[in-house]
Amino acid sequence: MKKFLLLALLLSSLFSKAQVNINNILNSVNSTLGNGLSNADITKGLKEALNVGTKNATGKASKLDGYYKNSLIKIPFPSEAKDMRSTLLKMGMKKQVDDFEKQLNRAAEDAATKAAPIFLAAITKMTINDGLTILRGKDDEATQYLKKSTSAELSKQFRPIIAASLKKVQITKYWNPLFTTYNKVPFVKKVNPSLDDYVTQRAIEGLFKLVAQEETKIRKDPAARISDILKKVFGGGK
């Protein structure tokens, strides 16, 4: 009988401790989730972070040298034409190659002035099924979700803007002499990449990188949380 009572007391103690641990875990989880934030609040906060990030990113990218002098997003000579670039440099055409690369970036900078409305519309339409997972994810989790969800549509809408910007900076004036000279070299593989497609892809990738930086800033720096919903979602209401 004594053994039974001792066993009962032991089990009761273990269950009591287990319950305390469970309660502590639940309290910790509730605190981590943002003091009872609703999914609607989280979604609103994530979209606001992307809106703010997009406006800041396009503002930076659209400045003179916003692409060209930012090593993170600078658009280089088309990778599929790297042999062409190497050959032209050996032929003493470094200035022409550099001028061409600069104009690629000038086109991206010009197009970035018109990028914000396209990105913001995509953010508005974006459906977030699991905001909590995104909120508790990596520092650029929302940006990566946006990229995955909207890249194809963004590229489709942004391409005509890039094409107009390339025309505006007279890219053919810089490209055609390089293209013509290289394709006259004996035994080389002729190349003629689509500059519209290439710059569109690289320009959008660059903007996503900048948006990711802005999201990280919002997550880590209270001063970057410039609205009540950002403070509520990313700062626990602080």
Q: Is the pLDDT of residue 20 over 80?
A: no
Residues 212-221: what's their mean pLDDT?
98
More confident residue, 16 or 214: 214
Per residue in 147-158, pLDDT (tens digit) is 999 999 999 999
**Residue 80 confidence (pLDDT):** 87
**Residue 26 confidence (pLDDT):** 37
Q: How many Cα atoms are found within 13 Å in the side-chain-facing hemisphere of 181?
A: 17
Mean pLDDT of the chain: 87
Per residue in 182-198, pLDDT (tens digit) is 999 998 888 888 999 99
Average the pLDDT over each of 74-78, 185-189, 200-204, 219-223 and give the range with the smallest value.
185-189
Give the residue from 203, 208, 228, 200 showing the smallest Cα distance to 50.
208
Check residue 118 and give left, alpha or beta (phi > 0: left; psi -120 to 50: alpha). alpha
Q: Is the pLDDT of residue 101 over 60?
A: yes
Give the residue from 139, 131, 133 showing the smallest Cα distance to 221.
139
Contact (CB, 8 A) for 54 and 123: yes
What one-letter code names the amino acid at 68?
Y
Give the residue from 151, 181, 153, 160 showing the smallest Cα distance to 107.
160
Report percent pLDDT > 70 for the chain: 84
CA torsion angle 135 141 143 144 (round to 10): -140
Residues 75-97: what's their mean pLDDT?
95
Q: Global pTM?
A: 0.83
Residues 163-187: what's their mean pLDDT?
95
Residues 2-12: what's their mean pLDDT?
50
Q: Is the pLDDT of residue 28 over 50?
A: no
Longest Cα separation, the chain: 102
Residues 121-136: what's their mean pLDDT?
92
**Residue 51 confidence (pLDDT):** 97
Enumerate the domain spans of the chain: 1-32, 37-235
Tokens of 222: 């209270």
DSSP code string of 50-115:
HHHHHHHHHHHHTSTTTTTT-TTT---S-GGGHHHHHHHHHTT-HHHHHHHHHHHHHHHHHHHTTH
Give the residue from 218, 217, 215, 211 showing the smallest Cα distance to 61.
211
